[in-house]
Structure 1
Amino acid sequence: MIETETSRRIPKAWFRGRMSVFARYLVACLMLAPAALALGLKLTDAGVGAAAALLAFAAMAGTAGYGLQRHYPHDRLGIANIITLARSAIIAGLCGLLAVPGGLAASDQLAWTVLAIAIFSLSLDGVDGYFARRQGLTSGFGARFDMEIDSVFGLLLALLCWQSGKAGPWVLILGGMRYLFLAAALAWPWLLAPLPERFSRKAICVVQIAVLIALLAPVISGPLSWTIAAVGTSLLTFSFGRDVVWLARHRS
């Protein structure tokens, strides 16, 4: 009888813990949504920019919330996930610029501001993993959440670089390589198999984001911006190509 009552209490406690985590996540979303809206409005000075920022944040936060409910194993949300969610709010604010073409090219002050915000977002990417390990809250969900936000960030930066004329449309390859990889996986599912850990892969991803951020600087233009973008694209292509070759050789 005691074992039966205990077995009934454990699932209820687990369920309450999961609901508590999701409730905290919703509160965090409600607190950060106005920040994304305000940043989009500040950067674009236009309602359409603010609306785009809010829509982008809702899409990212909603997708992450779905994954949180299904795959997060802990009964605490943790600082790391809050930081990643805050990064998504910053990135959403930057998304507002896509709704107002020409703004970055027309204003050096705006370009420097966006550059500083992008650097700040990148710096936050270096601390979320630290807090997850320190709090004992590492998880596959947290790693995936961080990776997906990085991917969105890279694509956004590439779009801003193209929009501001820093590079041709091929710069979208630098920001959207992972999405091309996922699209290819629809035809060849073996591309989704686990890959061995490689420090060089992580280093090249950092270089990718750093290159895209550097391209936003008003002092970098013309042949220099195209050269930097080409070098970054070449490194990223090498990294993905090496992984594809490895996956092809080890597919079952």
Structure 2
Amino acid sequence: MALIGTYETRLLRPETAAGAGAQTVLLILLDAATGLGTAGWLAGAAFTVATWALLTRALHRSWPPRPFGPANAVTLVRTTLVGGVTALVAESFASGPRTAALVALTAVALVLDAVDGQVARRTGTESALGARFDMEADAFLILVLSVHVAGSLGAWVLLIGAMRYVFVAAAQALPWLNGPLPPSMARKTVAALQGIVLLVAAAGLLPVVAAWLLVLGALASLVWSFGRDIRGLWCVRSRDGAPVARTSRPRVAVVRERAHEGV
């Protein structure tokens, strides 16, 4: 009985339960407002289940245990909006775009991206879990937006959303890519630019040629940013003469700085 009680406690985290409930309510509202079909509901449901499972697992694996905190609550709200964007993008391939709803949810999510970090710093609740949660929400939003924009501008736009995941995969084979990176305002600016540019392209505010050039410029800046950081990590490796060890601290540092403080 004790084991069953522990198992149920692990599953029924109030934070993740609240997130799943909010996601379900948002999907119902989107259905009423825009008419989500099967594709949208399936994508939204899959996102809800995946978020609940991964966040629950992360909360129980984090050490030392800490309260969920106000900053993570903001990130959870943003993640809920990302789930709505995911459902709308999936539905756009089945029955046409819901541009107004997609733009509204994305705009609020991007604004909140500037809020959770400030809340964490001001309340003294910064943590590796919070940084990772923030990063994953950002990364997935950019990926989903790039999928949406690729439908009108071309498959090459997917490089924007995929680049961070390719970097993480490469770091599994090349441990020196897990090295810590110094803070960089240029990196943060380039990362923030990706979401803004993709939002503008998704909104259809520009002629196709102008949108194409704008998104291409964002991709070029992202390639430059990743290239600069990879070069810096390689120089550190060459100077030290040994690969970076696989430890949790460098891993947290590179996740915090390289991924989706932006992309």
> TM-score of the superposition, structure 1-length normalised?
0.82
Q: Distance in 1 between matches of 2:16 and 2:101?
A: 29
1:4 maps to which residue?
none
Change (3 A) 1:93 1:199: same
1:227 maps to which residue?
213
Q: Distance in 2 between matches of 1:81 and 1:37?
A: 21
Deviation at 1:39, TM superposition (A): 5.0
Larger radius of gyration: 1
Is 42-51 or 53-62 further displaced after alignment? 42-51
The equivalences for 1:75-224 within 5 A come to 75-102=66-93, 106=96, 110-163=98-151, 165=152, 167-224=153-210
Q: Distance in 1 between matches of 2:76 and 2:150?
A: 26
Q: Distance in 1 between matches of 2:158 and 2:226?
A: 15
Check conservation: 1:50, 1:96, Cα contact below 8 A.
Answer: yes
Check conservation: 1:39, 1:94, Cα contact below 8 A.
Answer: no
Query: Relative contact order, CA 8 A, sep 6+: which one is greater?
Result: 2
Q: Distance in 1 between matches of 2:47 and 2:195?
A: 19
The equivalences for 1:32-43 within 5 A come to 32-39=22-29, 41=31, 42-43=33-34
Q: Distance in 2 between matches of 1:142 and 1:72?
A: 12
Check conservation: 1:24, 1:77, Cα contact below 8 A.
Answer: no
Q: Distance in 2 between matches of 1:223 and 1:231?
A: 12
Change (3 A) 1:44 1:180: farther
Structure 1 outlier segments of 4+, above 6 Å: none
Q: Distance in 1 between matches of 2:41 and 2:145?
A: 18
Q: Deviations over 1:183-227 (max 9, x none)?
A: 222321211221111111111100111111111122223211110
Q: Distance in 2 between matches of 1:213 and 1:84?
A: 19
- Listed as ranges, the gaps of 5+ residues in structure 2 are 1-5, 243-263
Q: Distance in 1 between matches of 2:30 and 2:227?
A: 36
* Identity, % of aligned positions: 32
**Are positions 1:240 and 2:226 aligned together?**
yes
Check conservation: 2:149, 2:202, Cα contact below 8 A.
Answer: yes
Deviation at 1:47, TM superposition (A): 3.3
Is 65-74 or 179-188 further displaced after alignment? 65-74
Change (3 A) 1:76 1:244: same
1:31 maps to which residue?
21
Q: Distance in 2 between matches of 1:160 and 1:39?
A: 21
Secondary structure of 2:223's counterpart equals helix
How many residue pairs were aligned? 229
Check conservation: 1:156, 1:175, Cα contact below 8 A.
Answer: yes
Q: Deviations over 1:84-136 (max 9, x none)?
A: 111111111111134334478x55xx313311211111011111112222222
Check conservation: 2:19, 2:52, Cα contact below 8 A.
Answer: yes
Letter of the 1:232 counterpart: A
